[in-house]
Amino acid sequence: MLKLAIFIFVFAAGSLLTEALLPLFTQLYHRRQEKKADEATKKLDNLFVEVEKKKLTYIFILLPLLMMILGLFIYHNVLAGIIDGVLGVIIPNFFISIWERIRREKFRVQLLDSLMLISGCLKAGLSLVQAFEVLVEDMPAPISQEFGWVLKEIKMGITLEDSLQRLNKRMPSEELRLITNAILVANITGGDLVKVFSRIAITITDNRKIKENIATLTLQGKLQGLIMSILPFVFIWWLLAFNRSQFEIMYNSEIGRSMLFVGIFLLVVGIFLIRKFSTVKDI
């Protein structure tokens, strides 16, 4: 009788606690995901990608929950469900980051041709703003979109200096910073932009050749680091999916948990060292 009373008391207390805390956790989760959706919307706006904020908010709120339920349904394991839920939180920002990198790389590749185009326009007697207009008409996206935005800001009354600084924030790169600094200095001192652009073009070309050689030499180390990072997680996923009993000992026993901790620690150290040795600072 006493055990039944204790059970009823614990069940009632747990129910009341869940009823009190669940709305709070739900509200905090919604606020956090809405904030992430706002940040993602701003990033997509900078990428000239139009997505309704409402739809993006739904994605950020529902995707982690759906992936967690899917993980529980497929693997019948709480740990797998939690991992899938965490992946659902990470995936949207991960894809947006990849999108940003691809766009910035395209912009960087187009920068040298655009520099030569602007230099040719200046030689023909056009002003810098007119050269930007030619660039917007002749060059493909994303560089035409970015300089088109610069022209819109100038027409709205924003100074050339402020507009170029905003461009640097949207598309951070050493090459772009070099070009914008040259333009701003030439506007103040009255230097010959054509000669300056020719020197910058030579500098950019030489730097790119050096970076390509360095990337080729460090490729093997980076691939090793990538394989080291992915392989253990693929192996764990395979065990959980097809032979869960072999992996249960790793988190059901003290020795297994200790081995997991040591393995994760050594994995992180190995990845860090490989990335450290295979990464060369920008020149």
**pLDDT in the model for residue 1:** 54
- H or E segment and range at residue 79: helix 78-123
**pLDDT in the model for residue 45:** 76
CB atoms within 10 A of CB 34: 15
Residues 126-134: contacts with CB under 8 Å, at least 24 apart: 128/160, 128/183, 128/193, 129/154, 129/160
Domain boundaries, the chain: 2-102, 103-202, 211-278
Farthest CA pair distance, the chain: 98
Q: Position of tokens 């560089």?
A: 143
Between the alpha carbon of residue 101 and those of residues 47, 106, 168, 225, the distances in Å are 10, 9, 15, 20
Residues 57-63: contacts with CB under 8 Å, at least 24 apart: 57/33, 59/92, 60/33, 60/34, 60/36, 60/92, 61/29, 61/30, 61/33, 61/34, 61/37, 63/88, 63/89, 63/91, 63/92
What tokens does 138 get?
Answer: 């002749």
**pLDDT in the model for residue 48:** 76
CB 163 within 8 A of CB 175: no
| Closest to 145 in 3D by CA, of 28, 50, 59, 64 | 50
- Please provide the distance, in angstroms rounded to a whole number, between the alpha carbons at the two ends of the chain: 77
What's the CA angle centered on 111, arms 214 and 172, to 5 degrees? 75
For residue 33, with 0-12 CB atoms within 10 Å meaning exposed, 13-18 middle and 19 or more buried, which class applies?
Answer: buried
CB 128 within 8 A of CB 151: no
**CA atoms of 257 and 263, how far apart (whole Å):** 10
**pLDDT in the model for residue 134:** 92
CB 151 within 8 A of CB 133: yes
**CA atoms of 244 and 38, how far apart (whole Å):** 40
Q: How far is CA 216 from the centre of its chain?
A: 24
**pLDDT in the model for residue 7:** 46
Q: What is the pLDDT along the chain (283 residues), one digit of tens a residue?
A: 555 455 454 444 445 445 555 566 667 766 777 777 777 777 777 777 777 777 778 788 788 888 888 888 887 777 777 888 888 888 888 888 888 889 999 999 999 899 999 988 888 888 888 999 999 999 998 999 999 999 999 999 888 889 999 999 888 888 899 888 888 888 787 778 888 888 888 888 888 888 888 777 777 777 777 787 788 888 878 877 777 777 777 777 888 778 888 888 888 888 788 777 766 665 5
Query: Does residue 238 come out as left (phi exceeding 0), alpha (psi in the -120 to 50 range) or beta?
Result: alpha
